[in-house]
Amino acid sequence: MMTPFPGTVDFQRWEKSEALHPITIGGTPITRYWLIPPKDRPKMFTPHPTMSSDEIRERTQGVWDRFYCFRSIWTRSGCVSSLRGRLAFVLISKLYRQMYANTGISTDSARKKKSNRLARWMAKPCRLLFQAKPMPGLQVPTTPIINSRV
């Protein structure tokens, strides 16, 4: 689902098209959606010619569910040679999915709460995969880094 962000070509195009027939929510133009309270903010900013907002949401959810199912993730993890690397790939992919379950793909508050709890639980083993032995011989630079673009 496309969200036109300010500063993008899509946003500029959308803003020009909305100027002809402005839509407001609580007095705020829809092109300033970040100023609309989240509970009143629309899920879809531009209507689709053939699909309803619910159909787009359901299909988008289905794509995310298929892409992040264990079988798909395991297949994609084949790009990593070690079993530890593949395990990290799977855990991080599932963690990524859980983090983004909270961004509008799933709007059910019970699912958000469960998603956050599961993401925290999954983050612990992921962190262990990236820990390394201490490097006592590592020297910290003492000279300041100078920004060359002054």
Q: What is the pLDDT of residues 50-96, one digit of tens each?
A: 888 788 888 888 888 899 999 999 999 999 889 988 988 888 888 88
SS3 call for 147: coil
Give residue-wise pLDDT tens across range 14-26: 888 888 888 888 8
Mean pLDDT over all residues of the chain?
Answer: 78
Query: 150 or 8: whose pLDDT is higher?
Result: 8
- Split at pLDDT 50, 70, 90, the class of 103 is low
Residue 76 CA to residue 94 CA, distance in Å, equals 13
Please list, in sequence order, all residues whose beta carbon lies within 8 angstroms of the beta carbon of residue 64, skipping any fewer than 6 positions away: 97, 100, 105
The pTM for the full model equals 0.52
Residue 11 CA to residue 20 CA, distance in Å, equals 15
